[in-house]
Amino acid sequence: MIWIEYALTGLTAGVLAGYLGIGGGLVLVPALSWLFSQDPATADVAVQMAVATSLATMLFTSMSSLLAHHKRGAILWPLVRQMVPGLLAGALLGSIIADRIGSAALATIFGVFAIIIAVQLLRGGGQSGNRPLPGWLAVTGTGFGIGTISSLLGIGGGSMTVPWLLWHGQQVRNAVATAAACGYPIAIAGTLGFALLGNNTSAAPSLGYVHLPALAGVAVFSVLGAPLGVAAVHHSSPLLAKRIFAVFLLLVAVKMLLR
């Protein structure tokens, strides 16, 4: 049954990621948190393991998206290179913070963030601006902030990177593509941090906080689900789906806040 649950979790995350352009971590973290909390071996570190495993799945699921955007020449690689040092350092810091604060505090932070994203979805997409991009130091600092929050919450960072780029006058296709590229260093550094820090977990088999069976099941079915979500965009209303997902996030937020 647990493998079926991993598969359904991964499939749902993949479909929603492809359909809504929302990182699968917003689905994976609450779902895996609940699954891990049912096992006495992982209950005490359920949220940390969910965050770590969510980041680890991005090592597999985001590569196809990154390559597809690269082939279309949509990624702003000079900007990505400026952000990468901050993204890597921030992602490592996020894993350290998550390890130190405990599952209850981490669930609270995730719940607050889910409310913010839900409100954004209900209000509509980010508004374009015409502010010029700042210098490299400010860009690196922005990457540090995005990397820290993303690693702390087990998400790819697109919900922060895309609005920031739109605010600075970038086209939507470039903003989405660049956010996808920025998500990969977050996944690398965050996964490494959680793998090294979780050496006191009693769950097996695991690599630190990364739950290997969940990673395998979720990653495979997330990859299978993403194309289904992309195909569904052309046959239904993404706006309606975003509103439904926003309500789902609000319910998730309440659940996480009441842990």
pLDDT digits (tens, 9 = 90+) for 209-236: 999 999 999 988 887 877 777 666 556 6
The 8-class DSSP code of residue 207 comes to E
- Contact by Cβ (8 Å): 56, 210: yes
- 234 CB burial (10 A radius; 0-12, 13-18, 19+): exposed
Output the pLDDT for position 19: 67
Whether residue 137 has pLDDT greater than 80: yes
Dist CA 67 CA 148 (whole Å): 24
Domain count for the chain, please give it.
Answer: 1
Output the pLDDT for position 152: 95
Amino acid at the residue 80: V
Please, which residues have CB within 8 angstroms of residue 4's CB and are 6 or more apart in sequence? none
42 phi and psi angles, rounded to 5 deg: -120, 0
Q: Which residue has the higher pLDDT, 237 or 146?
A: 146
Please, which residues have CB within 8 angstroms of residue 133's CB and are 6 or more apart in sequence? 79, 139, 168, 169
The pTM assigned to this predicted structure is 0.86
Mean pLDDT on 126-153: 88
Whole-number CA gyration radius for the chain: 17
The CA distances from residue 118 to 15, 26, 156, 189, 209, in Å, are 18, 10, 16, 27, 28
Domain containing 56: what range?
2-257
- Contact by Cβ (8 Å): 226, 61: yes
Dist CA 179 CA 83 (whole Å): 11
Q: Longest C-alpha distance within the chain, in Å?
A: 52
User: Which two three-digit tokens encode residue 68?
Assistant: 């597809």
Dist CA 104 CA 82 (whole Å): 34
Output the pLDDT for position 10: 84
Whether residue 202 has pLDDT greater than 90: no
Output the pLDDT for position 139: 94
Mean pLDDT on 188-217: 86
* CA triple 106-5-194, angle to 5 deg: 35
pLDDT digits (tens, 9 = 90+) for 5-36: 888 888 888 777 766 656 678 889 999 999 99
Output the pLDDT for position 227: 73
- Average pLDDT of the chain, as a whole number: 85
